[in-house]
Copies of this chain bind each other. A is one copy, B any other.
Amino acid sequence: MESAFEIVAEPNRRAILSLLASSERSVGEIERRLRMTQPSVSKHLRVLREAGFVESAVDAQRRLYRLKPERLEELDAWLSQFRRFWSEQVDALERHLDRMDRRTQSKEKTRRKK
């Protein structure tokens, strides 16, 4: 279980990572938000920590876990070889629209993605 892919293959771990994307959390918070048992949360956090996806800080009895993005970036890097398949046509258009968006953010032109 070394590769970043195997780590994120587990649904509960993906849920934890998504949760930590918004802000750092204690084990108990994760437990309640994701409706997982405490040992399960701790075990998954251990895997994530040892794999370098998260890091923890001691806060009294609690431990606060926060995201470390490097390993996720690996996934992104691997995916980059395929990105042309879906961004080929869209690419130029997207960039253009994004730029328009930034320039007209006040006008609320209601361009919603997908």
Contacts and interface: CB of A to CB of B under 8 A. Distances in A.
**A17, A18, A82, most chain B CB atoms within 10 A:** A82
Identical copies of this chain, number: 2
Nearest to A98: B95
Contact of A86 (B11, B18, B69, B82): B69
Interface of A: 3, 5-6, 8-9, 11, 14, 17-18, 21, 67, 69-70, 72-73, 75-76, 78-79, 81-83, 85-86
A18 B79 CA distance: 9
Q: Is the interface of A mostly helix, strand, loop or mixed?
A: helix
B67 A76 contact: no
B78 A79 contact: no
